A and B are shown apart, each in its own frame.
Chain A
Amino acid sequence: MQSLTDVIVLGVSHRTAPVAVREKLNVAEDQIELTLRRAVTLPGIREVALLCTCNRVEIYAVAADREAALRVLGADLALRASVAAAELEPHLYVRSDAEAVHHLFRVASSLDSLVVGEPQILGQVKTTHDQALRAGTAGAILNLCFSRAFRVARRVRRETAIARNPVSVSSVAIELARQVFGGFDGRRVLIVGAGKMSDLAARALQGQGAALIVTNRTAARADELAARMGCGTHPWGDLVGALAAADIVLASTGAQEPVLTRALVAKAQKLRRGRPLFLLDIAVPRDVEPSCAELEGIYLADIDDLQKVAASHRDGRRGEAEQAESIVEQELGRFIESFRGRQVGPTVSALRARVLSLAKAEAEKLVAGMPHLAERDRRAILDFADSVAKKLLHAPQMALKKDTSGDGIPLVTAVQRLFDLTVVEAVEDPGADTPGGERAEVGTTVLDGSVPSPQKKASGS
């Protein structure tokens, strides 16, 4: 593996650790900066950032001595979570150098997420970077990696359909309703039944400007739900009137027989003068008589329809994920290439400075021990040392500038290691993203990722 960036990552995620382990490692948001400031004082750690979501806890760090750093960070992690290091070990994954950067790119692009393509993770990665910047623990290399990761994630989102189609039942329901109504501003949403099933969809619709109204067989429970949602109620006896006034119906009662019969809906539709009505039936057993869909202007989707769409979108995302992976690979290649290119110049000058000053120092020491020499001879000795050093430097300098080979350890790294050169200040990214450019996009599809489980309801009712 190329050792180029000195970046390492270690952590646990939903893939490797159960929630029982993840929750122990979790760091409260107000503790993160403190944790970072402490971590950067650990021996050998130059930069550090901490990504902490409900599905993963990951430490990104820059350290010259990878093995030692991993040991230190691993021990620190175990200590903080008060678990034995041996207990943590099987859940922990570790990546370094290009692989670590690759991992960061994949995480930011939502390829490593539980629900592939969910949009929140990019915002969370940004927060991680911001926190590290505030704590002063993100240096040149991490800044470069993170800002590139944001760019890669944006490209993935732009060039693939990975985040386009909703994959949760409630967001599918909303997308379907959007197909009929366009927007939800000023639309009236009737919630039939006071079950919790419709909460998520109702809140999302409310958030997009729809007005909610609740009706339920037991008035007390209707009031309760209405209070929770901050909306009004409609008497159960006048279901037809309630339907006539609504645009979207979310039905989730616990009734055994359909509550919205064809006769009832037809009656309401007559009052509506043909305005379209979308019935979303998320109850099991169903609340809406299926033949309602035959009525003019009535659109109906039940829980199976919604789940089928959600499932097909999940399949679709898997296909898009392959394309996204190849984008990430390509971007990683470019990143490594530019990273290496950035290091050549400074490495050359560091090498020159090191060798020339060494030669000069040794020659001066020699000359100092020979006071009998004439000034001209002294000059000659100093010049001789300088010229030998320069001749020696010529070949490696040329080789460094020409090296574009991708295999094995790049010469830049080899030279840095052979001569013990530290080259950090070289890393400045001219193409760095302005922070916050993504804000508008992040979090618009809040529903995704929080998949309500209809099975639970089915078994519970």
Chain B
Amino acid sequence: MATFTALQIGVYAIASVLYLGYLLGFRERSAQLGRLALALGVLLHFADIGARCLHGQNPISSTPEAMGFVGFLIAAGFLSASFRYRLAAAGAFAVPAVLALLVLARVVPAEPGAPAMDTLGRTHIFLATVGVAVFTLAAVLAVLYLIEDRQLKRKQFGQLIGRAGASLETLDRLAARCVSFGFPIFTFAVLTGAIWIARLGLLWGAAAMRPEYLLALATWAAFGVLLVARVGAGWQGRRAAWLTLGGFGGAMLVLVLYFLRHAA
């Protein structure tokens, strides 16, 4: 199992390096090879998750497993989108993120004393996992948007042309699509989470003030505002990108806090 994990991490690392190389000015070939490595990584990762499921370590059985699964969803989502859109530059952000998630998930041991999961808990973790993965893709697109926008504004045209990345409008549209797809999922994640902790009797009293609960709500609100502003007020481009990043930052923080609490 350990060598198999190392193999996955190695393949993702190679893909990261290739995508980063492309962003730093290597030839298009670098991105093509990166995608090949990523595809291999996704396959290995899929097989690994399948194998773990057989051993009872399914993606929602523990936090590390869920994180690994988030990584898989991001990788698979990016991979399939990259066939349709010219997103090679985004790979330099998305693939290292997957790598980091996978390393964290595999290096940190599963908590032995985890509370027994009921269906509600499992549903919550599953939805939150998928929601965070989709938001991660949106955030990667937003970062790319901001970089490209800045280069265009500063007239650093030379670096842009020939990179042949996706256009600003495409990036904006894809990010919006990710958010509107992820938001309902995340909404249910928050709802199931609230019910779950209420059942555990943690909703009232000191436990209710746990920062991750509030942060999760703030994250949900940020994406909600973003959706409404996009449709209602015609928000797009830079402002939308920043708000996406804000929401994503919140989601990450929730994950980290949750992770710290349970790993401690």
Task: Write the residues of chain A forming the contact surface with B, with a CB cutoff of 8 angstroms.
Answer: 161, 164-166, 172, 175-176, 178-182, 273-276, 293, 296-297, 299, 301, 305, 308-309, 312-313
The contact sample of 16 A-B pairs, CB cut-off 8 A, is: A165-B162, A179-B152, A179-B161, A180-B152, A180-B167, A180-B169, A181-B168, A182-B167, A275-B234, A276-B168, A276-B237, A296-B239, A299-B152, A305-B157, A309-B158, A313-B161
Residues of B within 8 A of A182 (CB): 166-167, 169-170
Closest to B154 in A: A293
Do A161 and B162 have beta carbons less than 8 Å apart?
A: yes
Do B237 and A296 have beta carbons less than 8 Å apart?
A: yes
Do B167 and A297 have beta carbons less than 8 Å apart?
A: no
Neighbour of A301 across the interface among B155, B233, B238, CB < 8 A: B155
Residues of A within 8 A of B167 (CB): 178-182
Do B169 and A276 have beta carbons less than 8 Å apart?
A: yes
Residues of A within 8 A of B235 (CB): 274
Do A179 and B160 have beta carbons less than 8 Å apart?
A: yes
Closest to B160 in A: A179
Residues of A within 8 A of B61 (CB): none
Do B239 and A176 have beta carbons less than 8 Å apart?
A: no
Residues of A within 8 A of B168 (CB): 179-181, 276
Residues of A within 8 A of B65 (CB): none
Q: In this assembly, does B236 line the interface, its C-beta being within 8 Å of a C-beta of chain A?
A: yes
Q: In this assembly, does B199 line the interface, its C-beta being within 8 Å of a C-beta of chain A?
A: no
- Which 6 residue pairs spanning A and B have beta carbons closest together? A273-B234, A182-B167, A309-B157, A180-B168, A165-B162, A175-B161
Return A164 CB to nearest CB of chain B, in Å: 6
Do A274 and B234 have beta carbons less than 8 Å apart?
A: yes
A-B contact count (CB 8 A): 65
Task: Write the residues of chain B forming the contact surface with A, with a CB cutoff of 8 angstroms.
Answer: 27, 148, 152-153, 155, 157-158, 160-162, 165-170, 233-239
Closest to A278 in B: B152
Do A274 and B236 have beta carbons less than 8 Å apart?
A: yes
Do A293 and B161 have beta carbons less than 8 Å apart?
A: no
Return A454 CB to nearest CB of chain B, in Å: 17
Query: When chains A and B are docked, how far (Å) is the Cα of A161 from the Cα of B157?
Result: 17
Residues of A within 8 A of B169 (CB): 180-182, 276
Do A299 and B234 have beta carbons less than 8 Å apart?
A: no
Query: When chains A and B are docked, how far (Å) is the Cα of A301 from the Cα of B233?
Result: 28
Query: When chains A and B are docked, how far (Å) is the Cα of A275 from the Cα of B233?
Result: 12
Do A176 and B153 have beta carbons less than 8 Å apart?
A: no
Residues of B within 8 A of A309 (CB): 157-158, 161
Return A460 CB to nearest CB of chain B, in Å: 26
Residues of A within 8 A of B234 (CB): 273-275
Residues of B within 8 A of A175 (CB): 161
Residues of B within 8 A of A299 (CB): 152-153
Do B166 and A172 have beta carbons less than 8 Å apart?
A: no
Contacts A182-B169, A182-B170, A276-B169: A301 and B161 contacting too (C-beta < 8 A)? no
Query: When chains A and B are docked, how far (Å) is the Cα of A164 from the Cα of B158?
Result: 13
Query: When chains A and B are docked, how far (Å) is the Cα of A178 from the Cα of B164?
Result: 9
Residues of A within 8 A of B160 (CB): 176, 179
Residues of A within 8 A of B152 (CB): 176, 179-180, 299
Residues of A within 8 A of B148 (CB): 179
Residues of B within 8 A of A179 (CB): 148, 152, 160-161, 165, 167-168
Return B172 CB to nearest CB of chain A, in Å: 8
Query: When chains A and B are docked, how far (Å) is the Cα of A274 from the Cα of B234?
Result: 7
Return A324 CB to nearest CB of chain B, in Å: 15
Query: When chains A and B are docked, how far (Å) is the Cα of A407 from the Cα of B169?
Result: 59
Query: When chains A and B are docked, how far (Å) is the Cα of A172 from the Cα of B155?
Result: 13
Closest to B157 in A: A309
Query: When chains A and B are docked, how far (Å) is the Cα of A8 from the Cα of B153?
Result: 53
Query: When chains A and B are docked, how far (Å) is the Cα of A182 from the Cα of B235?
Result: 20
Residues of A within 8 A of B166 (CB): 182
Query: When chains A and B are docked, how far (Å) is the Cα of A178 from the Cα of B166?
Result: 9
Residues of A within 8 A of B237 (CB): 274, 276, 296-297
Neighbour of A293 across the interface among B27, B153, B165, B239, CB < 8 A: B153
Closest to A304 in B: B155
Do A275 and B161 have beta carbons less than 8 Å apart?
A: no
Residues of A within 8 A of B233 (CB): 273
Query: When chains A and B are docked, how far (Å) is the Cα of A305 from the Cα of B153?
Result: 12
Residue of A161, A180, A293, A305 most packed against chain B (CB within 10 A) = A180
Residues of B within 8 A of A176 (CB): 152, 157, 160-161
Query: When chains A and B are docked, how far (Å) is the Cα of A176 from the Cα of B152?
Result: 8
Closest to A175 in B: B161
Do A164 and B162 have beta carbons less than 8 Å apart?
A: yes
Query: When chains A and B are docked, how far (Å) is the Cα of A274 from the Cα of B176?
Result: 15
Return B238 CB to nearest CB of chain A, in Å: 6
Closest to B158 in A: A312
Query: When chains A and B are docked, how far (Å) is the Cα of A273 from the Cα of B234?
Result: 5
Query: When chains A and B are docked, how far (Å) is the Cα of A181 from the Cα of B166?
Result: 9
Residues of A within 8 A of B236 (CB): 274-275, 297
Residues of B within 8 A of A301 (CB): 155, 157
Residues of B within 8 A of A308 (CB): 157-158
Query: When chains A and B are docked, how far (Å) is the Cα of A181 from the Cα of B162?
Result: 15
Residues of B within 8 A of A181 (CB): 167-169
Closest to B85 in A: A182
Closest to B163 in A: A179
Contacts A180-B167, A275-B236: A166 and B153 contacting too (C-beta < 8 A)? no
Return B206 CB to nearest CB of chain A, in Å: 44
Residues of B within 8 A of A274 (CB): 234-237, 239
Return B159 CB to nearest CB of chain A, in Å: 10
Do B161 and A172 have beta carbons less than 8 Å apart?
A: yes
Contacts A180-B169, A181-B169, A296-B238: A166 and B161 contacting too (C-beta < 8 A)? yes
Query: When chains A and B are docked, how far (Å) is the Cα of A161 from the Cα of B162?
Result: 9
Closest to A247 in B: B169
Query: When chains A and B are docked, how far (Å) is the Cα of A313 from the Cα of B169?
Result: 25
Query: When chains A and B are docked, how far (Å) is the Cα of A116 from the Cα of B150?
Result: 31
